[in-house]
Structure 1
């Protein structure tokens, strides 16, 4: 599997999935990764027309979700 080198690096790390998506959870579980789920509160309201390509919108949205969860975890607000 192409993900094996990545999974090996993550085995001893705290992995957080910033999504409540059952499909994403299934993918990570099937890859053999242990993780915790902390859904992001980031509202997906970025202006799509401000991105040159659809993947740029997706990358920025994912980045903002990860940053929101990381900030909440750092501050201890996980309710």
Structure 2
């Protein structure tokens, strides 16, 4: 559920976060603070810290071949 919140929100209330995580507000706040989120006590809002996603792109020979054929077709 935490991963869904992470991908769906940039800011969310403490109350909604606690509801989604099935925790009380203090536990939910402490948990997300440990994950790097920021709390604004005045508005009771949490700012979500997005995690960087590292993806490794693998070269697929068939895709490369199709690209070569496409470019060749365009040139001739």
Give TM-score scaled by structure 1 length: 0.27
Give TM-score scaled by structure 2 length: 0.27
Structure number with higher strand proportion:
2
Higher-Rg structure is: 2
